[in-house]
Structure 1
Amino acid sequence: MRMSDIETGSDSAGADDKRQPRQSRLVKAALACSRFGQFDVTIRNVSQTGIGGKAPHTLNLGERVTLFLPGHDPMMGTVRWVVDHRFGLETDAEIFPGRLRAAHSDTLVAADSHADFQIMPPPKVSAWRPGLTQPQPLPGHYGRKRYPLLCTKGCLSGRRE
């Protein structure tokens, strides 16, 4: 065994002791900081002492932020790692994943839980354009529109000249 393997093993073992078990979650939350104000974030995993997520802005290492999680009071935290728009945050207060689930399920509505739809009749669209006259349809006629013939001599006899 090489010396670097022993050192790497001891370092990773120490990091594993410090690391809390994570629970995979997909939750919307908000962060607030002095640079960007308050903005929405997506939380991807949660532990008792921190979160991992994705933000629309790139956060700075060591930056202090306020975290607004569903089912929790606002809490302060410190940014511990950043990769592009993904981040890890260590919170000052404890996070309760059970509260997250309960608060999140309150806002979820099953698709079939209520039927608020109505069947609407199709819109009555007119093809009328300025400069064109609209013909009057003959009563009781379906299909191709028929227009009354202009009568000249012999209209009454049924003949047309």
Structure 2
Amino acid sequence: MEPAVKHQSPSQHPRDNRERRLLKGQMQTDRLPGFEIVIRNISARGLCATCKGLPPVVGEFAEIHLPDNRTVMANVRWTNDQIFGVEFEEPINLAIMMDTLQRLRDLADRNASWEVKSKHRVSDHRPDVAMLRRL
């Protein structure tokens, strides 16, 4: 017996590797003004995301603002409640995007500081045991 062979039409592309991430983005369509999306995974040719409220409709064109400050045009390919998938009109360089996001995280880490004393009062107050016994 020969193994099953997957046949693809010439217009279909093999699936790209996906980066599983939770990233915040923005999306807008002609029907829906700008709204926040959470990107669940992303590849060079598209992404899977979720949103609150009304989801986009299959076949709708969208403008997506990615977390690395890049804007891409995409076509909604599928929806399932608030989860949907889009295909980019032009492939993106995913390595550049991940590198940019890593640099932004590194910069945020360098600028972060932990100052517990300025955020919380530290009290060394100890109750008077003699007063507690009288109650």
| TM-score, L = length of structure 2 | 0.69
In 2: Cα distance, 1:143 partner to 1:55 partner = 59
Q: Where does structure 2 lack aligned partners over 5 or more consecutive residues?
A: none
* Structure 1 CA distance for aligned equivalents of residues 90 and 69 of structure 2: 10
- Which region of structure 1 is more displaced relative to structure 2, 59-68 or 39-48? 39-48
Give the equivalent residue in structure 1 for 2:131: 144
Q: Percent identity?
A: 21
In 2, Cα distance between equivalents of 1:21 and 1:41: 21
Unaligned runs of 5+ in 1: 2-8, 123-140, 146-161
User: Which residue is 1:6 aligned to?
Assistant: none
Residues 1:120 and 2:121 aligned together: yes
| TM-score under structure 1 length normalisation | 0.59
What is the count of residue pairs matched by the alignment?
117
Indicate how the Cα distance of structure 1 residues 37 and 107 shifts in structure 2: closer, same or farther if over 3 A, else same.
Answer: farther
Matches within 5 A, 1:10-29: 12-14=6-8, 18-23=13-18, 24-29=20-25
In structure 2, the residue matched to 1:58 is: 55
Q: Distance in 1 between matches of 2:131 and 2:78?
A: 72
Contact 1:61 1:81 in 2 (8 A): yes
CA distance in 2 between partners of 1:25 and 1:60 (Å): 23
Q: 2:41 aligns with which of 32, 42, 45?
A: 45
Q: Partners in 1 of 2:130 and 2:82 — Cα distance?
A: 62
Structure with the higher strand share, 1 or 2: 2
Superposition misfits of 4+ residues, deviation over 4 angstroms: none
Partner of 1:73: 70
Distance 2:89 2:38 in 1: 19
**Cα RMSD, aligned residues only:** 3.0
- Using CA pairs below 8 Å that are at least 6 residues apart, which structure has the higher relative contact order? 2
Larger radius of gyration: 1
Does residue 88 of structure 1 match 2:85?
yes
Q: Residue 22 of structure 1 contacts residue 45 of structure 1 at CA under 8 Å; is this kept in 2?
A: no
